Amino acid sequence: MAREKILVVDDEEDILELLQYNLVREGYDVIPVASGEKGREIAEREQPDLILLDLMLPGINGLEVTKALKKDLNTQNIPIIMLTAKGEEADIVTGLELGADDYITKPFSPRIVIARIRAVMRRKVSETQDLSSITRIHDLMIHNQKRKVWAEGELIDLTYTEFQILVFLAGRPGWVFTRSQIVDAVRGVDYPVTDRSVDVQVVGLRKKLGNCGKYIETVRGVGYRFME
């Protein structure tokens, strides 16, 4: 069985060596890279199973790399874990909104890094299994693998987060979810995203869906559900 390949992008040599040593010991193949430009190039060529990406990089920073990779059909499904410094909360939120899967704050324990990698890998397998078909509900058609949505036959342009919220709610029609549960399902657990940001995303999603926006119901004092 082929070993899982992890691309590590960080301009600090000691961190690259620390991560490479511990990841190789855990059985991963590791590609260490010291710049955002090189990281993007390697990601496109090697198609790693996961990327550990520092946000503060010379030249093209981690946010720019994330944005580029998530826009590219060949790399958009590669999980990204951001490596961040304390005080970068705004950049963390931006990175998650761009499609990053998780973040780890420096300084970090190698054991924590390994645990986060395993958790993201498990989510990737689960999502691959769940996103294997086209969902049709009411006047909506959702193609999970192509990440496309049609409302009343019209192709709708959704952001990454809007699409994730729609898939989550439409996949469990009639179930009521709190805003925190929606955040956890879309981004993982304990991210610095407010309930208000969920409301903003839902408002935008409803507007784009037109008449189909009515299928996302507000449950007063609780959260949202998708109409059965």
The CA dihedral of 151, 153, 155, 156, to the nearest 10 degrees, is -10
For residue 91, pLDDT over 60 is answered with yes
How many CB atoms sit inside 10 A of residue 15's CB?
Answer: 18
**Mean pLDDT across 203-221:** 92
Apex CA 183: angle with CA 135 and CA 56, to 5°?
115
List the one residue out of 25, 23, 26 whose CA is nearest residue 6: 23
Report pLDDT digits (tens) over 187-208: 654 455 566 788 888 999 999 9
Report pLDDT digits (tens) over 6-53: 999 999 999 999 999 999 999 999 999 999 999 999 999 999 999 999
Query: How far is the C-alpha of 208 from the C-alpha of 159, rounded, in Å?
Result: 10
How many CB atoms sit inside 10 A of residue 131's CB?
Answer: 17
Q: Which strands make up the sheet holding 148-151, listed edge to edge?
A: 134-137, 140-143, 148-151, 154-156
Q: pLDDT-derived band of residue 95, with 50, 70 and 90 as boundaries?
A: confident
Query: How far is the C-alpha of 52 from the C-alpha of 73, rounded, in Å?
Result: 19
The sign of the CA dihedral 27, 32, 36, 40 is negative
Q: What is 134-226's CATH number?
A: 1.10.10.10
Mean pLDDT of the chain: 86
Domain ranges of the chain: 5-129, 134-226
How many residues are given for the chain?
Answer: 228
Going from the C-alpha of 53 to that of each of 7, 15, 152, 172, the distances in angstroms are 8, 12, 40, 33
Which tokens sit at 25? 């010991």
Q: What is 5-129's CATH number?
A: 3.40.50.2300
List the one residue out of 170, 132, 128 whose CA is nearest residue 149: 170
User: How much is the pTM?
Assistant: 0.60
Which tokens sit at 126? 């689960």
Apex CA 11: angle with CA 65 and CA 117, to 5°?
65
User: What is the pLDDT, as a whole number, of residue 189?
Assistant: 46
Tell me, what amino acid is at 56?
M
For residue 175, pLDDT over 90 is answered with no
